[in-house]
Structure 1
Amino acid sequence: MLDRRDLLKFATAGGAAFLIPLEGSAPYAAPRLTAGTGALTDVAVPEDTFTTPSPARAFAAPDELGDLAKAAPFAHAMPVLGAMKPAASHSGRSPRSGRTVMTDVYSMRQHKARVEIVKGLKSTVFTYAGCFPGPMIKANRGHEVVLEHHNELDNPTCTHLHGGRVPSKYDGLPMDVVGKGGHYTYRYPNKQRAASLWYHDHSHGTEAENVYMGLYGVYLISDEEERRLPLPKGQYDLPLVIRDARIEADGKLSFARPIDCPHMLVNGKERPYFKVAARKYRLRLYNVSINRNIKLRFADGAEFVQIATDCGLLEGPVVRDEIELVGAERAEIIVDFSRYRVGSSIVLENTAALKERPEIMRFDIVREAKDRSRIPDRLAEFPSLPKPSREREFIMTSDPTFLINGKSYDPKRVDVETTLGSHELWRIKNIDSPGHHKPGYFIHHSFHTHLAQFRVIHRNESPVGPGEAGWKDTVSVPPGESVCIAVSWSGYAGEYVYHCHHLGHSSAGQMGRVDVKPR
């Protein structure tokens, strides 16, 4: 039997994470775990390991910042995120369904590490298993993932699987934090369609700082429906984890306002390059910035094809030449690099850049390659939306502080009570004027629901475009605008939250509690 003592042995062995060198990319390696066998008991965390979250930390004021590191774009090869190897895998019979369930077991230490973000400088970051970003986990639909986290940081932490449909006790609720020396085991059933999810810290009051410092990683769920599609696979299927940062001349990663964060990172490196073949690639785009929007386009204005939103494939492909992502939002696109000659390069830009350079990364076309992939006209089947049982309204404000419906987050107060299996319409309004400014923050909001996935029905009473019409867990709510979403509560009863995913906002209280009751 694999018990807590075995898992602790695995944890002290080091993180089983690595970044694969591919197409001229930069390698990074961490020690591998030794696999074990047997069944896993459901581990409860002792009460005394839970810690009250700290008050939200403010961004550094401009006069507190040091000299900025001067970085030349495209000095780094972009690392390719490699999949973490399970410490153990086993099968067992589900007590509910009687079916055989496969389980992969992982263990991660949360600790500080020194990494090179800007060429020639070492920066101290927070890591999962010693990696920045955290190691990628690949899961299969219906196969359980068990993930034990060990906190070796001074900050309290908890881990949320963003976009995951998981029981409440494994959701990473904001107050279920673990202090230094503590540990907690999460179980993810993965009973949902293929999607590009991610995991990150969610400790209330410290989540913005913890994520900014590095506590985030990619979590991919695949299924048979997705695998049957002739989309680019293997080395031609790449997550691009994008965020802003501020690196000082001495290498320090400073917790600063977006306007003071001119360094744009992809997979942990500042404005990298990546060598590609002249063929189609599937790019999974992540905006993990804690408080900024990005708008991505190629410098030559070339078109690409969007195939997915946050929670999985669209019904059909959508041709675009620019895509906007708010904090925590994801999209998947197909880019055909065969339109460029071998030996040429093309830059991916952020047209929503603040004071910084617009470049995000550069693709270098270095070789020819066979390409049997294609983009089908039909990607997924979407059922009709059920008739909603009720409507709710959420007013988001930013002045004098960040509130939803005039209230700041109180974990003891139930803001929404609903029933498992219910369908609702939520109208979310950002009533701040477009010209309103709050120092250090974007006044855009990034509305995120835990447990529930939703469909965006309209913006400002107008139907949304096809690129936003898929299943989502995060939606942009710009100043002066309103969004209507169809929310379906399925999976598990229990306590969950909804909040702005510009994490400076949620750290300051822009969050509410929702209790999902059994039928």
Structure 2
Amino acid sequence: MLNRRHILTAATISGAAAMFPWGRMIDPPKAKPVHEAPPEAPAGPAELWPEDEELARSAPFAHAMPIPPVLRPTSVTASSELYQLRMAETQVEIVKGLQTTVYSYGGCFPGPTIRALRGREVVVQQTNALDVSTSVHLHGGNVPSRYDGLPMALIDPGESREYRYPNNQVAASLWYHDHAHGKEAENVYRGLHGAYLLSDPHESSLPLPNGEFDIPLLFRDARIEADGTLRYVSPYECPHMLVNGKERPHFAVAARKYRLRVYNVAPNRHISLRFADGAHFIQIASDGGLLAAPVPRDELTLAGAERAEIVVDFSRYAIGSSVVLENTAALESERPEVLRFDITRKADDPSRVPGVLATLPPVPKGMVEREFFMQTFPDTRINGRKYDPDRVDVETTLGTSEIWTIHNWPNRKPAGVFHAPHSFHVHLVQFRLLDRDGRPPGPAEAGLKDTIPIYPGETVRIAMTWGDYSGEYVYHCHHLVHSSHGQMGRIDVLPADPEEQAEPEKPAAPKQPAAPKQPASPQQPATPKKSGK
């Protein structure tokens, strides 16, 4: 039987299926027995690795985990900060003793953190010094269309482009990453991703851990060859787990509370994190910002591009001790440990987690309903179609509230665990989860979201209101191999006043007529349905 744990493991396979011909499924590496070892005596580098002579072996916890540097503005005005970033190849040490060439923003892997304030505009001038085209998307950002990083709005090699982010939304852990269509999965895998931390007066007034005790953690997988090469392959062949750009690092903490901003920036897999000793922590935020109230957790599962903020109290541990964070969704051939926290000192701790964190906006009441079928076999599509930038799949109007019903379409009987989940992302808006297979969301999924996992055979309903900008946007699976292969659609948001015109990203393309409606079947998913207002 396909249970939730198997489904999570299957997420590591979804990229494999999309990268290779469907009739040529690859077999997983043979599992080796797991050898548990305490932090002070980690398993040797030859244990628990796929049988692959070309793979770099690395002992866990060989690296100290870095914190991505905060980017400094090149100039400041009364209302904005100006930043400059250059995308280029950079040499870094991911596995101890090996030099690896990656793509980087500003010479950093992952990219430098941008800290922003609500109501103050951030302007980023991006220059592409790579030999591939790029496009920069602020994931979760409420951004005008021409600055959204559309899949076809490319920065070609040698060119520059300016992005303006108004920051007119509540505090949240956003991130920026590549979105060049057909290249986004590989570009993100090679390093084009970084954290964007937006704060506001309300969040800043809360007594949460801050300053040096507020840490972004960017998790992803990789395959590093024995010569240091970062090779772009199926997630089945990516046993190296990176945190902030280092392979299974360690991090020194004080015996007090920390706010950890957890990102899944892996292009093609889920992660599921828990402390090896089963310790509880408190979730305080999801993709779009603070939850209404704190949620106690002992495990955190994130699909590709999802984020969560947690507060961990390390004062429960003795000075000189350690605790390991594990990925319970790791393949059996992979190491489960991903990060070791070493409790090295005492520190004052005036922080606390209040019982009320935020007042969430009302859940939108749908004026329009639409239906989407996410198809995996024989290839990745939405409603039977692959992405066409000249075809409008959804046309809506500013201020319109909609309910979307999204199915992970079981159009072929799952072969083992190969029928993977999807990670559904909508640009421009934060949405609310209404239900999952008819069940209301738990408290951890009840906040503002921009990305939602949908498991095989599952149906979710989400609600959103379109604003504040008109123009062209997209929705897609954020298993980026799926979107690279066309699992994406175009949204045109029209002005509420017909006399207003959005500034186009490029000359408007002729709209294609909607496909004729057909009954749902394993061969032909239904097209979206739209009801009158």
Which of 432, 438, 447 is the aligned partner of 2:410? 432
* SS of aligned partner of 2:431: strand
Structure 1 counterpart of 2:70: 83
Quote how far apart the aligned CAs of 1:421 are.
0.8
- Name the residue aligned to 2:34: none
Q: Where does residue 165 of structure 1 map in the other structure?
A: 142
Q: 1:143 to 1:442 in 2, by over 3 A?
A: farther
> What secondary structure does 1:471 align onto?
coil
Amino acid at match of 2:211: G
Higher relative contact order (CA 8 A, sep 6+): 2
* Cα distance in 1 for residues equivalent to 2:412 and 2:349: 45
Partner of 2:58: 71
The yes-or-no answer on 1:513 pairing with 2:490 is yes
Match of 1:397 in 2: 375
- Structure 2 CA distance for partners of 1:348 and 1:165, relative to 1, 3 Å: same
Residues 477 and 79 from structure 1, CA distance in 2 versus in 1: closer, same or farther, beyond 3 angstroms?
Answer: same
> One-letter code of the match for 2:371?
E
Matched AA of 2:62:
A
* Cα pair 1:454 1:473 within 8 Å, conserved: yes
Is residue 2:192 matched to residue 1:215? Answer: yes
- Deviation readout 1:487-510 (Å, 9 max, x if unpaired): 121110000000000000000000
Who is 2:162 aligned against?
185
1:318–1:467 contact (8 Å) kept in structure 2: yes
1:43-54 aligned at under 5 Å gives the runs: none
2:387 corresponds to which residue? 409
Give the AA of the match of 2:340. R
SS at match of 2:149: coil
> How many residues in Structure 1 have an aligned counterpart in Structure 2?
452
Q: Distance in 2 between matches of 1:435 and 1:337?
A: 45
Given candidates 222, 242, 249, the residue that maps to 1:265 is: 242
Q: In the alignment, is the contact (CA less than 8 A) between 2:19 and 2:234 conserved in 1?
A: no
The partner residue of 2:362 within 384, 406, 419 is 384
Superposition deviation, residue 58 in structure 1: 6.4
The correspondence of residues 84-483 of structure 1 with structure 2, limited to 5 A, is: 84-91=71-78, 102-354=79-331, 355-432=333-410, 436-437=414-415, 443-483=420-460
Of Structure 1 and Structure 2, the greater strand share is in 1
Q: 2:524 maps to what in 1?
A: none
Letter aligned with residue 389 of structure 2: P
The CA deviation string for residues 420-456 of structure 1, in whole angstroms up to 9 with x for no partner, is 11111111100237972599x7721000000011011
Measure the CA separation in 1 of the matches of 2:188 and 2:118: 27
Partners of 1:367 and 1:390 lie apart in 2 by: 56
SS in 1 for 2:311: strand
Distance in 2 (alpha carbons) for counterparts of 1:435 and 1:239: 39
| Gap change, CA 1:204 and 1:243, over 3 Å in 2 | same
Deviation at 1:165, TM superposition (A): 0.5
Between the aligned partners of 1:115 and 1:349, the Cα distance in structure 2 is 25
Taking the aligned partners of 1:283 and 1:113, their CA distance within structure 2 comes to: 27
- Per-residue CA distance 1:93-124 (angstroms, 9 max, x = gap): xxxxxxxxx11001111000110000000000
Distance in 2 of aligned mates of 1:193 and 1:383:
11
CA distance in 1, matches of 2:459, 2:304: 18
CA distance in 2 between partners of 1:208 and 1:80 (Å):
24
Tell whether the 8 Å contact from 1:291 to 1:442 is kept in structure 2 after alignment. Answer: no
Moved over 4 A (4+): 56-63
CA distance in 2 between counterparts of 1:360 and 1:240 reads 11
| 8 Å Cα contact 2:305/2:478 also seen in 1 | yes
Alpha-carbon distance in structure 2 between the residues aligned to 1:267 and 1:395: 35
CA distance in 2, matches of 1:308, 1:442: 30
Q: Tell me how far apart the structure 2 counterparts of residues 130 and 345 of structure 1 sit (CA, whole Å).
A: 32
| CA deviation map 1:330-370 (0-9, x unaligned) | 00000000011111100000000012100110000011111
Instruction: Check conservation: 1:437, 1:443, Cα contact below 8 A.
Output: no
Deviation at 1:388, TM superposition (A): 1.0
Give yes or no for contact 1:433–1:479 (8 Å, CA) kept in 2: no
Cα deviation, residue 256, structure 1 = 1.0
Instruction: Give the superposed CA RMSD.
Output: 1.8
Check whether the contact 1:432–1:443 (CA below 8 A) recurs between aligned residues: no
CA distance in 1 between counterparts of 2:364 and 2:219 reads 35
Instruction: Give, in whole Å, the separation in 1 of the partners of 2:449 and 2:364.
Output: 16
TM-score, normalised relative to structure 2: 0.83
Any residues of structure 2 matched to 1:4-83 within 5 Å, and which? 67-83=54-70
- Whether the 8 Å contact between 1:175 and 1:411 is mirrored in structure 2 is yes
* Consecutive unaligned residues in structure 2, runs of 5 or more: 1-17, 30-51, 497-533
Sort the Cα spacing of 1:197 and 1:365 in 2 relative to 1 into closer, same or farther, 3 A.
Answer: same
* CA shift for structure 1 position 385: 1.9
% identity of equivalent residues = 60
What secondary structure does 2:444 align onto?
A: helix
Matches of 2:412 and 2:26 in 1, distance apart? 24
Partner of 2:476: 499
Q: Could you tell me how far apart the structure 2 residues matched to 1:309 and 1:392 are?
A: 25
Letter in 2 for 1:357: R
State how far apart, in whole Å, the 1-side matches of 2:249 and 2:126 are. Answer: 30
Partner AA of 1:368 in structure 2: K
Q: What TM-score do you get using the length of structure 1 for normalisation?
A: 0.85
The one-letter code matched in structure 1 to 2:316 is R
Structure 1: how far apart are the matches of 2:104 and 2:53?
24
> Do the aligned partners of residues 437 and 197 (structure 1) sit closer, same or farther apart at CA in structure 2, a change above 3 Å counting?
farther
380-389 or 271-280, which deviates more: 380-389
